[in-house]
Amino acid sequence: MAAHLLMKEGHEIVAGFMLNYLDEDNPNCTTKLDLESFHAVRKHLGIEAYEIFDYRTEYEDRILNYIYQ
């Protein structure tokens, strides 16, 4: 909604997706579904520019390893 309203005001929008985890071998990986939704929404809004912020290594090092120590 925020992107839509900002676009209506004439602002240039760049969409972003924060990737923390991805199980490439699991067709039911929720991150894959989230990424598909991200692209569907940005395309629906007409947002061409986007960036995927890949924090998988940091997430594993700082969160997963901390939890499972």
Q: Does pTM surpass 0.75? A: yes
The ranges assigned to domains in the chain are 19-67
Per-residue pLDDT 10s for the chain (69 aa) are: 999 999 999 999 999 999 999 998 998 899 999 999 999 999 999 999 999 999 999 999 999 899 988
What is the Cα–Cα distance from 21 to 23, expressed in whole angstroms? 7
Question: CA nearest 17: which of 1, 33, 29?
Answer: 33
